[in-house]
Chains A and B, each alone.
Chain A
Amino acid sequence: MLPELGHFALILALLLAALQAFFGIAGPMFRRERWVSAVTPAVAGQAVMVAAAMGCLIASFVNEDFSVAYVAENSNSALPLFYRVAALWGAHEGSLLLWIMLLAVWTVAVAVYATRLPRLFAARVLGVLGVISFGFLLFTLATSNPFLRLDPPALDGRDLNPILQDPGLAGHPPVLYTGYVGFAVAFAFACGAMLQGRMDQNWARWTRPWVTAAWAFLTCGIAMGSFWAYYELGWGGFWFWDPVECASFMPWLVGTALIHSLAVTDKRGLFKSWTLLLSVLAFSLSLLGTFLVRSGVLVSVHSFAADPSRGVFILSFLIVMIGGALALYAWRAPLLKSPAGFELGARESFLLFNNVLLVIAAATVLAGTLAPLISGALKLGTVSVGPPFFNPMFMLTMLPLLALLSIGIHASWKRGRLGTQQRTLLYTFVAAAVLGCGLVYGIYSHGHLLTPVGATLGLWIILSSLVDPVDRLRRRLSLPRAVVGMTIAHIGLAIAVIALTTVQSFTNERDVAMAPGGSATVGGYQFRFDGVRPIEGPNYDGVGATLVVTRNGSAVAVLKPQKRQYWVQHQVTTETAIHYSRGNNILVALGDDLGASRWSVRIQIRPLVSFIWIAAVIMALGGALALSDRRYRLAREAATAPAGTAPEHA
């Protein structure tokens, strides 16, 4: 019964999404007041129906209803409750439902916020969100329905993919999708403005908090995925330029560019059409990512069960949404006029460089991701593009970006003179270079050229970012949260750069064959292998090894990596053991049984690697702080009175 209710709720949600889309777009177009009034109830109704569908599917998982095909394929009676719930988004159908649910949550948030927006503009924004939701609901119902029954029911389920049986599954997809889907709001704001044919004075201010929020979620989501890969999947690797990683990284790059161009549009009224384009692109890349993951055109660790009919559907949807938005852009954007320009050395120029570099970086990642497709289409044979392409290409755009960051934050709007800031920049740069090179050569006494460069640029960003806030504090001037947020996010980026360059240069890794009692020395640590013994979990058994780690005779840690064999799918997973010591991550993974109680063991020592994820959290935190800035709250108070009553804000 519950699955049928869920299925029915999903159909109702589809109808309500159609109404929301129609009334939201046609209402303002034909000036039908009552149509416009119907938009918000449709939003609310759709959200309730989607939540009901989600609830029904969760209940089917919790109740172990193996008559539902999706449950039978992704769960098992031996699966712990925690994973039975998270298994909901462990495969294609359920993760689509999660996608739709999160879109509904964002839409409700926009509807609540919309009381501060001009009425017709808000209706258009909600209408565009309705179109997106309609497309995804139709996709789910037509090709990927999670509520289909199995007749007769399965006796037990085929179990959740063992690789996914990790706490990471509970956090990574929802947070990542929240970010992904969040860019739909900026997309809708852009389409709303273009449908209206005019960009309100406050448009950028309305859009900014939404972009920042989505960006912060996406940052966290990507970092969580990377951390998960590090300890579970990747044998100590944390970024693989896998097509799906790229798919989440492209919207992040464009979203970062959008945050910066929105700042210019908000402050100076410039870059209007460019900002609109980026708003469209950020979400378009999220959609493209969805296509790449689910159509099966690219092979990746994240691949869902591939089905060409799904690919055709998503491609048609991409054509309607992205093609439609870009055509609208080609038609409407020429109408936008920017006021007077700016001088070459002004902050606007630096933000323009930032945008150009970030977009080039995103385009590079896109090219690398699609290279196998393009070469396949041109019959050039199978090409696979990996780190040897991505790492240097990416660095090529990131190094100038980082170098210009410090100067950019000290440049003034409109005018191109750096004035007294020149000296500050010089001093901070010299300090960073001395400190950076000193630290790198002091600690490691050798190194790749990249590390001192990375350390210098990172430290320069940190020092120069702090100059202005410290100065303001000393003079007891107020420090807006937006500035604090920006500073924190930039510092987060700098930490990530320092950590990444250090990890790249100073990782120590060895695969060794070890017999009980045998030992190995890696990176100044001694590892003694004490053999393996059998283990058993709720739905798996396997072996666990014990390694005693010492450094110069004093104990550091006892590490217990495991190798598990899950019963239902007979799949083997590797559970690494990690210890954090003196800024290093010591990771041990158990490899193959080499016979005669000898085992292959991977030992890896990575300096500062934790700081990559910490840095991402710091960046997201900066975003969250900027979000809470006073000016967004002021905008709310100012807008409630006039905009609520006027039919269209002039």
Chain B
Amino acid sequence: MINRFLIPVVVFALLVVVLAIGIKHSPEKGIIPSPLIGKPAPQFSLPSLGDPARTVSSATLRGRWYLLNVWGSWCGTCREEHRMLLEVRRSGRVPLIGLDWKDDDSQALGYLQQLGDPYEFVAADRDGRTAIDWGVYAAPESFLVNPAGIVVYKCMGELTPDIWEKEILPRLPQAQAARS
């Protein structure tokens, strides 16, 4: 006869398997609902990367769609994501605004020179304070903002072709052209 005192530990082992799979397939992965969704995008005003005299501010972005992409030259995943960003630029569907997070200006410029620059312009968030306002967890992250300045979608981690097609394109109005 099976030892009945073993039953609890066996049941627990099964539970652990379920929980482990749960972590692996965590429904949150990539879609942690940001508290910002449905709310106005945080205000910011930052020097432009490579041209400190010019300021990039949220006010100038009002009235059109944009995709804010948080990146850094120190970030490995951003490098992998870069080719997709260039695709986005080529598609012309939505302008990309870069938020260069806690980065060194010269390294960031070198990075863009080497890989190509997909951004309409890049705001240099050297101290990372703007990223805190946006609730950034880790680079890369992308926020889709509508003309009213409301955040409509947040992508945690790499922006993949899949996310672009299934999450971002359907949210954009038809034939939205990047007015760059």
Contact = CB atoms under 8 A, between A and B. Distances in A.
B22 A373 contact: yes
A374 B23 contact: no
Interface stretch (A323-331, A474-482, A543-551, A613-621): A323-331
B13 A297 contact: no
Interface stretch (A306-314, A499-507, A520-528, A603-611): A306-314
Nearest 9 Cβ contacts at the A-B interface = A377-B21, A326-B9, A297-B22, A296-B28, A373-B22, A311-B23, A306-B28, A330-B5, A330-B6
B23 A297 contact: yes
B29 A334 contact: no
A80 to B, nearest CB: 21
A291 B21 CA distance: 14
Contact of A154 (B6, B21, B26, B132): B132
A333 interface: yes
Given A72-B132, A308-B26, A569-B35, A377 B127 contact: no
10 contacts: A273-B5, A298-B22, A311-B22, A311-B23, A315-B20, A329-B8, A330-B8, A376-B25, A569-B35, A570-B40
A214 B153 CA distance: 43
A376 B27 CA distance: 9
A296 B26 contact: yes
B9 A327 contact: yes
Given A311-B22, A330-B9, 13 more contacts: A158-B133, A295-B22, A297-B19, A311-B26, A326-B8, A326-B12, A330-B6, A330-B8, A334-B3, A334-B5, A370-B15, A376-B22, A376-B27
Contact of A374 (B8, B18, B29, B129): B18
B132 A158 contact: yes
A467 interface: no
B17 to A, nearest CB: 8
Task: State the main secondary structure of chain B at its contact with A.
Answer: helix
B171 interface: no
Given A291-B19, A306-B26, A370-B18, A570 B39 contact: yes
A569 B27 CA distance: 25
A323 B22 contact: no
A431 interface: no
Contacts of A319: 16
A435 interface: no
A312 B22 CA distance: 10
A308 to B, nearest CB: 6
B177 interface: no
B16 A377 contact: no
Given A152-B127, A330-B3, A305 B32 contact: yes
Nearest to B156: A306
Nearest to B17: A377
Contacts of B5: 273, 329-330, 333-334
Contacts of B19: 291, 297, 315, 318, 373
A165 to B, nearest CB: 14
Contacts of B35: 161, 569, 571
Contacts of A155: 129
A413 B33 CA distance: 55
Contacts of B129: 152, 154-155
Nearest to A297: B22
